[in-house]
Amino acid sequence: MKKRKFFFILPMVGVLIISLVLSLKAGTDGEKELTNNVENACSKRGSIYGTVVYFQSCYMSYMQAAQVQLKGKKTGVKDEVNTDRNGRFKFDDLKEDTYKLTVEKKNFKNSRATVKLKSGRAKFAEIEIEKK
């Protein structure tokens, strides 16, 4: 009787070992797939966002409807947006480069800023504009 129990246990141990090896191999492949998906999801593109402000007497205000122009030094990318009612602007889907921002608004002096953008990053810029 004892020999029969042994014969029953050995095949079960073999099945458990094989199933363990197969599940570990499947987990490794799953990890590779997950890593590839994460790398693909991480964009190499970046964004520049910020606010346009102006100072009157002793307080700061956000500049609504100012035109913000963007130009890439190496890429030659050009774009423009208007600030929202809170003086905010945003440029998305930008490659790594040095960008020049120019802000224009009627009755105000043009203002400029330079932003160095690294791959996949976002940069904030606060640009001050003054009355003429």
**pLDDT tens profile 90-116:** 999 999 999 999 999 999 999 999 999
- Tokens at 74, concatenated: 């190496």
Q: Is the dihedral of CA 35, 41, 43, 49 positive or negative?
A: negative
**pLDDT tens profile 46-83:** 999 999 999 887 888 999 999 999 999 999 999 999 99
Report, as an integer, the average pLDDT of 12-28.
62
Which residues face 71 on adjacent strands? 78, 100
**Cβ-proximal residues to 72 (8 Å cutoff; 6+ apart), any chain:** 78, 94, 95, 97, 98, 99
pLDDT range class, residue 7, cuts 50, 70, 90: low
The top-scoring range by mean pLDDT among 3-12, 13-22, 26-35, 83-92 is: 83-92
Give the pLDDT of residue 90.
98
pLDDT range class, residue 35, cuts 50, 70, 90: low
Q: Residue with structure tokens 């590779």?
A: 32
